[in-house]
Amino acid sequence: MAITTLPTHAEVAIVGAGPTGLALAVTLAAAGIDFVIVDRLAEGANTSRAAVVHARTLEVLDELGASKSLIARGERVSQFAVRDGGRRLLTVPFAALPTPYPYTLMVSQCETEAVLLARLRELGADVHRPYEVSSVVQDAAGVTLTMSTGQTLRARHVVGADGMHSAVREASGIGFTGSAYGESFVLADVAMDWAPGRTEVSLTFGSGGLTVVAPLPGDRYRIVATVDDAPATPDLAFVQQLMDERTPGQARIDGLAWSSRFRVHHRVADHYRAGRLLLAGDAAHVHSPAGGQGMNTGIQDGYALGRAIATGQLDDYEAQRRPIAERVVAFTDRMTKIATTRNPAVRAVRDAALSVLGHLPAFRTRLATELAELNYR
């Protein structure tokens, strides 16, 4: 890709064109706000990352004019199931959710980014690449961004949508409180014969760890599993053995398209704003991939921040969005702890309680609403 000419001034500069930065850029473009968005990569990443788009995110993408083409590229999943080994404890249907999108959409992050970028271009804007921000300095009148090329960009406000190792957050001095999970996370995209089938996302409890299986477009599945000890690139035999231990008799893996081991952090920025610098997406919060909420929360941040800028309500942004990140971190933490308890008495009580609660429509609706992020409207 040719290096695009970088403007020298803008009302708002967005650092990072991942899903968060793109959602913000589309929101600002639609509102007619003058902005520039830069990314250090010559083109968008095409690695396997987020695969789940929740109902609330689809509502936001609808506001941005991007939901239809994303839905056309994905696969709809109508329920969420909880199991202990091979035993089903709970089924949470999404069908009755009060939303035009009563399902979870399985679609690759690259597609989500491609749809947002196409919408941005439709609105007459584009990402400036490759420009890496190497210095961020704010003063009373604005912020100066210096690129690694030496070029500068002056803006009234700068948004760090530059991911977990955010340079904007570093420059702002805002703390990133939290820690790393003790266990590793294994992620694998596989072709497999999976007994529960393709209509649900399933979460399996087990003393060895938590295991999530979700269908991916293209007849594949995404496996996410917490593991005490795993090789850096788990092979098919490793993943098959993991599934045999945790979901006995349910999974026969035929092919491994991609796998990796991650150390995952759970952290939330102490503030989302320091003067003229603002944070959104992974720059502001990171959590376990088990709930599939990282990218979703980021897109919703981008939209909320864009609306706050467009309506001159910047002070509301942190108050509106930071409690949500704290809640997502607490929810995924709690889920992981409940799912992986090694105490047999606690497990028995947990399983019995879930089986009973699973018959209560109000409980199922509450859980479906939390998973779909609809209470974050």
Ligand X SMILES: Cc1cc2nc3c(=O)[nH]c(=O)nc-3n(C[C@H](O)[C@H](O)[C@H](O)COP(=O)(O)OP(=O)(O)OC[C@H]3O[C@@H](n4cnc5c(N)ncnc54)[C@H](O)[C@@H]3O)c2cc1C
Q: Is 183 in the site for ligand X (CB under 6 A)?
A: no
- Closest separation in Å from C-beta 330 to ligand X: 16
| Widest Cα–Cα separation across the chain | 64
Q: Is 40 in the site for ligand X (CB under 6 A)?
A: yes
Token pair of 274, please?
């320091």
Q: Is 143 in the site for ligand X (CB under 6 A)?
A: no
- Closest separation in Å from C-beta 109 to ligand X: 6
- Residues 238 and 225 sit within 8 Å (Cβ to Cβ): no
Binding-residue pattern over the window 294 to 323 for ligand X, x denoting contact by CB under 6 A = xxx-x-------------------------
When the beta carbons of 49 and 73 are compared against ligand X, the nearer one is 49
Q: Is 37 in the site for ligand X (CB under 6 A)?
A: no
Sites for ligand X among residues 261-290 (CB under 6 A): 281-282, 289
Q: Is 373 in the site for ligand X (CB under 6 A)?
A: no
Q: How many residues bind ligand X (CB under 6 A)?
A: 32
Distances, alpha carbon 177 to alpha carbons 162, 193, 248, 266, in Å: 17, 41, 38, 8
Q: Which of 167, 225, 230, 242 binds ligand X (CB under 6 A)?
A: 167
- Closest separation in Å from C-beta 17 to ligand X: 5
When the beta carbons of 103 and 347 are compared against ligand X, the nearer one is 103
Q: Residue 91 contacts by C-beta under 8 Å, 6 or more apart in sequence?
A: 79, 80, 81, 82, 200, 358, 364
Q: Is 162 in the site for ligand X (CB under 6 A)?
A: yes
Q: Which of 36, 39, 70, 107 binds ligand X (CB under 6 A)?
A: 39
Q: Is 163 in the site for ligand X (CB under 6 A)?
A: yes
When the beta carbons of 160 and 206 are compared against ligand X, the nearer one is 160
Sites for ligand X among residues 186-205 (CB under 6 A): 187
User: Which region among 5-13, 49-57, 75-83, 232-240 touches ligand X (by CB under 6 A)?
Assistant: 49-57
- Closest separation in Å from C-beta 115 to ligand X: 14
Q: Is 75 in the site for ligand X (CB under 6 A)?
A: no
- Closest separation in Å from C-beta 343 to ligand X: 29
Q: Residue for token digits 């209560």?
A: 360
Q: Which of 25, 50, 97, 117 binds ligand X (CB under 6 A)?
A: 50
Q: Is 212 in the site for ligand X (CB under 6 A)?
A: no
Q: Which of 12, 13, 16, 256 binds ligand X (CB under 6 A)?
A: 16
Sites for ligand X among residues 96-115 (CB under 6 A): 109
When the beta carbons of 305 and 347 are compared against ligand X, the nearer one is 305
- Closest separation in Å from C-beta 84 to ligand X: 23
> Given the rule CB under 6 A, which residues bind ligand X?
15-21, 38-41, 49-52, 109, 132-133, 161-163, 167, 187, 281-282, 289, 292-296, 298
